[in-house]
Amino acid sequence: MMRKSFVSLRIRASLVMLPPRGRSSISRMRTLILCFTAVWTTARASEHETSSAFPSKMKMKFRSHLANEMMMYHMKVSEEEVTKLLCSGTEPVQNIHPSFDEFTYTPRSLQDDSTPTAVLSMFEDMGFINTYKIDMHTLARFCLMVKKGYRDPPYHNWMHAFSVSHFCYLLYKNLGLSNYLHGSLQFRGICDGAGYNPKSQTHRSLLLCLLMTSCDLSDQTKGWKTTRKIAELIYKEFSLREKAMGNRPSEMMDREKAYIPELQISFMEHIAMPIYKLLQEIFPQSAELYERVAANREQWSKVSHKFTIRGLPSNNSLDFLDEEFELLQSQGAFGDDSHRMNGCLDDQ
């Protein structure tokens, strides 16, 4: 019974991938072949059954294979999509936003359909396209395929990937990383003050780990509203994921039980701030990143008194925390820097 149900599942899933009647007969034939191949491989696997229950490892293997097949199908990028992206051209990053190449810029403010163009602009601005002789058609198709490959959870989605990529670009532009990764400059902070050796694989790996982690956490270096919004999205995602898997979320990640200000302050003090403090010690020109994370940590302390309940409010929003921030901002409590920050879009 288990085997028949699984075969039926593969047939239904494969039929979902059938192109509409308007598509070419060759395309439909290829998909039909995929459908029948999926059924055949499942039937062959059933020959190894030793009981009426389908072996759990085999079941997991074929479910994973099926998921990969469906994902690859839906990640396909048409020639029309590539042409449309390339026709818009690679515009200078300053045309996207005057501060696009500055640490104050928040990539989450960019509309979703504009992000592939922005990726091409970043590659062009860094000189990668000419230096590495990258074919624009291939790069455009790759960007669109990666974007399609992302699902749409609250936080770990395409916009998060774009934000991480944008921060990589900012580090490259503002910290002169090409000198550290390929040159012979020395800097303090690694190997007990012995200096950085770009020829050392260990040194390079440590530096890349630091840079990648700082990119992954870069939302914490933006304005308060972005930091607050990200906390909201993260608690939504982890809680939903654990419950969907049938697990009981730990209290710290349960949006119904977590005391969010306390957890955010702890996260910033023990993870985010040390990361950007080390980055500042190595690259003094990145000092503003640490300062902004510290300011966001302070703001969490200021709004903590507003939390009279544990977890997210019934509307799953932390917007109510912005009232006090906006009042302090209007009084100039944060200086000019916060006024230059553009926040993330409300629907992200």
Which pLDDT does position 246 carry in this prediction?
A: 73
8 Å CB contact between 103 and 97: no
Report whether pLDDT(156) > 70: yes
- In the predicted model, what is the mean pLDDT of residues 180-199? 54
- Residue ranges of the domains in the chain? 2-74, 83-340
Share of the chain above pLDDT 70, in %: 59
How many CB atoms sit inside 10 A of residue 156's CB? 16
DSSP 305: G
Whether 170 contacts 102, CB under 8 Å: yes
CA distances from 297 to 222, 252, 273, 310 (A): 12, 18, 9, 19
Q: How confident is the model at residue 346 (pLDDT cuts 50, 70, 90)?
A: very low
**Residue 155: which of 215, 235, 225 has the closest Cα?**
235
Q: How many residues does the chain have?
A: 348
Phi-psi domain of 197 (left: phi exceeds 0; alpha: psi -120 through 50; beta: other): beta
Q: What is the average pLDDT score of the chain? A: 76
Q: Give the mean pLDDT of 147-162.
A: 94
Confidence label for 338 from pLDDT (cuts 50, 70 and 90):
very low
Structure tokens at 211: 């840079």
Average pLDDT over residues 284-308: 89
DSSP 185: -
Taking alpha carbons only, the member of 82, 6, 2, 86 closest to residue 42 is 6
User: How far apart, in whole angstroms, are the C-alpha atoms of residue 131 and residue 120?
Assistant: 14
Q: Note the pLDDT of residue 171.
A: 96
List the structure tokens of 330: 């209007």
Buried b / exposed e along 112-133 (16+ C-beta atoms within 10 A)? eeebbbbbbbbbbbbeebeeee
Identify each DSSP E strand in the chain by its residue range: none
Say which of 156, 182, 203, 339 is annotated catalytic: 156
**Tokens matching residue 117:** 């163009």
Which CATH homologous superfamily contains domain 83-340? 3'5'-cyclic nucleotide phosphodiesterase, catalytic domain (1.10.1300.10)
pLDDT in tens, 99-144: 999 999 999 999 999 999 999 999 999 999 999 999 999 999 999 9
Residues above pLDDT 90, as percent of the chain: 43
Least confident of 10-14, 163-167, 282-286: 10-14
Active site residue 160: no
Q: How confident is the model at residue 317 (pLDDT cuts 50, 70, 90)?
A: low
User: What's the pLDDT tens digit per position in 220-272?
Assistant: 999 999 998 998 898 888 877 766 777 766 655 555 666 788 889 999 999 99
- The CA distance from 16 to 325, in Å, is 49
Query: What number is the average pLDDT over the span 329-347?
Result: 52
Structure confidence by residue, pLDDT tens digits, 51-61: 445 567 777 77
Its sign, for the CA torsion 302, 320, 234, 342, is negative
- Under 8 Å between Cβ of 300 and 264: yes
